[in-house]
A and B are shown apart, each in its own frame.
Chain A
């Protein structure tokens, strides 16, 4: 059971990580807590579901489509709604993103009803057997793809000119402007990319979890904990934290009892916030003071 518990945690850790990257980067770069992030994941999951239903497309192959669609949504919402509000009060962005979240969830109830859906593939439900340990194929592929997307995001932020521009804006908005970087555009790009990664996470989630318009809400709790654990704005930290969080959850459920999962999560969250708000792996310069 110990080995299976570890595997359960590891398989899910990647998905928690990729579900968190966009949220963490947006918080770190712009200081915005995007409460609609869960809804972005939900939209990604429905894109995978719809493409599978209508065209028989494999949910893993739906990822590029979901990423493009969500990039557009994320960019547009940032440009038209969030950028203007950021200029007056940063904290009011919380209210705006909460509004977007409500809007998107209800929109999907309207189009897809609140029925619970699932994506079925020929290989879902089958597992790789190694001794006593079972590894679900779907979860394995999802975990590997998560790590790949995470590495791509990391490389993009740290190795490309656009990525550098985004990080520079995060460090010092005014200095970035002097260097010829338009903060509003950098913010739009950041939001778009973050939403795109959330969309990818949604596609992966659609293979593992039942889908409903409120899918994102159950994710958002985990996303918060992983963000804070990994250090706000740190992609590498988020991935490590995703695995750490999933392992802790798996162990808590197995050895303390299933009802302790949430308590352990919240205690971890509050403790880290109070003791080490920059996160276990966060660099102190990210995010706001």
Chain B
């Protein structure tokens, strides 16, 4: 009885509100997109960059008058919340986005751990998620239908560095893989170690140190005694800095130092200081890429506009966020509808490119055309050295001593 009364009241309210909304809608429609991303806590830096990417796309679209979907033109409104870098909070906010804010599309959180907790909710409600910064293979092996990422998955994280290494002359012989014992670094590290052996390198040392290690001098000492030609590090900013500092103090001098995820981050490069020269790493996006799209034109333009808006150069996090917006826009336009299943079908049937790279989605939500570049710090500036098509400079090899 009580429920029925409440229901009736709500329904009455909606009729009144709805008619007013209908009149407004004739002039302009709004498409709400949800985003619960880390703005505080351990992942706040990366989370903020990602959100800035999403929001720059929103700004561009709205300035251009909106997106034409079918016969209507929609303005974009991103509803964003802070998940505090906690899976529990992110799940709660995803529920809020779907059930209170009524969004049908979500821009994903930063990190695979959090995305794994939220994907199950959006899947249950059949809400489409674009998760440019959640790339753990396990997430896309769960049979979900409504989550997509255009970024290459984690297991391929160090492949470009290995490919580059095998083309060097003289070819390096031995490889060491080190990183913290954590979800993403483990996927990257394990598959890089396997790939290295397949490619004919000798795997001389692997280590997984605790995420909260205060000191890595012992790991550096062991790297030194294994004397590899290539050191691959899968860690986060802080522990990678610690490792490189210790390697420098102990005069560990491999011909190649390749990082899985820190090279594109400004404060990492600043904090490395003079010891940075010649360090290389996988970069999911660099501003010299030559792909193009109708929204941002190309990567150089995106970089310029991002810097004008936020005052600092974009990273791959921001680029992936903005390009997720472009991909969603293309799918919406193609579907000619905001119906989730139609947009999903459009996504699956498309092959295209954004400034971030080319895309063609598989049924599991991954992008079969995703690629990554390798950047190297040459005189403290990151320069693209691989693949040759987008390279700015020849690789510094072997890297001069630290």
Contacts and interface: CB of A to CB of B under 8 A. Distances in A.
A and B touch in their complex, CB below 8 angstroms? yes
Given A259-B210, A261-B210, A125 B402 contact: yes
Interface string B238-271: 1001100100111100000000000000111011
B30 interface: no
Interface in B18-59: 42, 44-45
B141 interface: no
A190 interface: no
A210 B209 contact: no
Contacts, number: 109
A115 B238 CA distance: 10
A258 B214 contact: no
Interface in A212-236: 212, 214, 217-219, 221-222
B248 A259 contact: no
Nearest to A222: B214
A214 B270 CA distance: 18
A66 to B, nearest CB: 20
A1 B249 contact: no
Interface residues of A, number: 40
Contact of B238 (A8, A210, A221): A210
B195 interface: no
Given A1-B225, A116-B271, A250 B212 contact: no
Q: Does more than half of chain B's interface fall in helix, strand or loop, or is it mixed?
A: helix
Interface string A71-112: 000000000000000000000000000000000000001000
Given A116-B237, A116-B267, A262 B212 contact: yes
Given A116-B238, A117-B267, A210-B271, A125 B213 contact: no
A258 to B, nearest CB: 4
A160 interface: no
Contacts of B390: none
Contacts of A136: 249-250
B92 interface: no
Contacts of B297: none
Contacts of B16: none
Contacts of A222: 214
Contacts of A208: 245
Interface in B73-119: none
A57 interface: no
Contacts of B213: 218, 258, 261-262
A219 B214 contact: yes
A258 B210 contact: yes
B169 to A, nearest CB: 29
